[in-house]
């Protein structure tokens, strides 16, 4: 029987760069926010403060590159939504965080 921890380790073995994301509170907080519902850039900017907007853009681009989040242009607004891979990843992160009191 495969545990959630083993699933997460399997994902990290396939893409070791995801380990950096797990250790990045800004990346995880943005991913958690997007996992709640699709959100546009302006809403995201209001919910999570960054000194420079470029940091938020870089984080979003990283999440898109890792196929955890997708971007869709709706009425000239960039909408961000979580992918299936992103949903699995964030669920495993939350379970592991809770299991090992890592929050």
**What is the secondary structure of 48-59 as a DSSP string?**
S--SSHHHHHHH
Token representation of residue 98: 């809770």
* pLDDT above 90 coverage of the chain, percent: 53
Q: pLDDT digit string (tens) for 17-66?
A: 888 888 899 999 999 999 999 999 999 999 988 889 999 999 999 999 99
- In sequence order, the 6+-apart residues with CB closer than 8 A to the CB of 37 are none
Model pTM score: 0.86
Burial label, 49 (beta-carbon count in 10 A; 0-12, 13-18, 19+): exposed
| Residue 51 Cα to chain centre, angstroms | 19
Class of domain 4-95: mainly alpha
Token representation of residue 24: 């990045």
């Amino acid at each position: 029987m495969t545990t959630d921890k083993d699933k997460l380790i399997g994902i990290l073995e396939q893409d070791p760069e995801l380990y950096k994301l797990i250790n990045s509170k800004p990346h995880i907080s943005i991913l958690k926010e997007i996992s709640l519902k699709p959100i546009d850039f302006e809403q995201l900017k209001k919910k999570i403060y960054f000194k420079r907007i470029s940091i938020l853009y870089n984080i979003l681009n990283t999440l898109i590159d890792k196929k955890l989040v997708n971007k869709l242009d709706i009425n000239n607004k960039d909408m961000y939504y979580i992918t299936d891979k992103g949903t699995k990843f964030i669920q495993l992160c939350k379970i592991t965080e809770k299991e090992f009191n890592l929050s």
